[in-house]
Amino acid sequence: MVRANAKVNLFLRVHQRLPGGLHPIEGVFATVSLADRLAIDIRPTPGITLVTEFAFDCPAPENLCSRAAAAFLEAAGRARTGCEIRLDKQIPVFSGLGGGSADAAAVLVALERLHGSPLGQSALEGLAAHLGSDVPFALRGGLAAVRGTGNDVSPLPCRPRLHLLVVKPPCEVSTAWAYSAFDAFPDKAGPGDLEAMTAALAADDPARIAASLHNSFEPVVEARFPAVRLAREQLLWAGALGARLSGSGAAVFGVFASEEAAAEAESRLRAKYPVWRCSLRPAGVELEREGPPA
């Protein structure tokens, strides 16, 4: 069993699109305790099967789990074998929480272990970079500064005790739409202060961390999806020191002064939204007990 942890973007500065179509970013990403779980078995014949109760919009050969498995088997010289992936999906889709990327990273880690570690960490990171911009961070996880197109991941040495509440408003935001809208929308969020965020994290100061939260996508997404702004305001009403959109959304998260404050806010908001109380996790992918998802 492999645990694939979600992430939140404590800081996300998006730069204008490069000629090749990619957008450089600067950010601070944090792995949190909301997670999908996967069980993977090797099959002696070619073929990749994904078993899940979740209905993917993306067909099996093209979703990130299957693409990650195919990339690994090809790179490891195991293309004559296959695998079955059983996925217990808990991270909401179109949420900006990196669930698909976390699942892809979990597939890479699990297959590397099951096949006796033929590739090594460096090769896995190369595969991750080709699968998607969030997959390299998902492979490492923890708390990290992320730059470039997502493949420059630098772990941060601090270990703050963050108390977070994640809320999913009743809408879905496509990442492709968010980038397109960002290109046409003035960045009213401003550049933010990345140095202030890293200093606040090092000081383990919830109030300073909350004051330094930043997301370039937020004004774009809230202009199109008022429900996102309302959910963020509801978190502040419930006692969050600060609240921001995660990734391109639609999920928002709040930073709280204590576990008790986060628990009280959860009790206030659970009747209105799907809500998850989260803490930081040390890794993006964690090995758990053997067996199928519960």
Tokens representing residue 256 in the block: 């709280």
Tell me if 55 is assigned to some domain.
Answer: yes
How far apart, in whole angstroms, are the C-alpha atoms of residue 154 and residue 193?
A: 18
Average pLDDT, the chain: 92
pLDDT at 294: 36
**Domain span at residue 256?**
163-278
Residue pLDDT, tens place only, 218-253:
999 999 999 999 999 999 999 999 999 999 999 999
Do 29 and 172 reside in the same domain of the chain? no
Output the pLDDT for position 293.
44
Instruction: Select from 286, 275, 223 the least CA-distant residue to 252.
Output: 275
Q: Alpha-carbon distance 88 to 117, whole Å? A: 25
Total residues found in the chain within this entry? 294
pLDDT value for 19: 84
Strands (E), 72-197: 82-88, 143-148, 152-155, 163-167
Torsion of CA 230, 101, 209, 231, to 10 degrees: 10
Question: What pTM was computed for the model?
Answer: 0.93
| Mean per-residue pLDDT, 72-87 | 96
Q: Tell me the C-alpha distance between 173 and 84, whole Å.
A: 30
Q: CA-to-CA distance for 177 and 81, rounded, in angstroms?
A: 37
CATH of the domain at 212: 3.30.70.890
State how far the Cα of 65 lies from the Cα of 50, in Å rounded to an integer. Answer: 8
Active site residues: 7, 134
- Tell me, yes or no, whether 72 lies in a domain: yes
- Residues 99 and 20 grouped into a single domain: yes
CA 279 – CA 282 distance, rounded (Å): 10
180 and 274 in a single domain? The answer is yes
Beta bridge partners of 38: 2, 87
6 and 30, same domain (yes or no):
yes
Check pLDDT > 80 for residue 61: no
Residue 241 lies in a domain: yes
Q: Which residues contact 175 (CB under 8 A, 6 or more apart)?
A: 96, 247, 248
Q: Where residue 55 falls among pLDDT bands split at 50, 70, 90?
A: low
Beta carbons within 10 angstroms of residue 208's beta carbon = 17
User: What share of the chain has pLDDT > 90, as a percent?
Assistant: 84
Residues 232-263 as b/e (b if ≥16 CB within 10 A, e otherwise) read: bebbeebbbbbbbbbbbbbbbbbbbeeeebbe
Domain total of the chain: 2
- Tell me the per-residue pLDDT of 15-53, one tens digit each, with 9 for 90 and over: 888 888 888 999 999 999 999 999 999 999 999 999 988
The residue from 91, 123, 155 where one domain ends is: 155
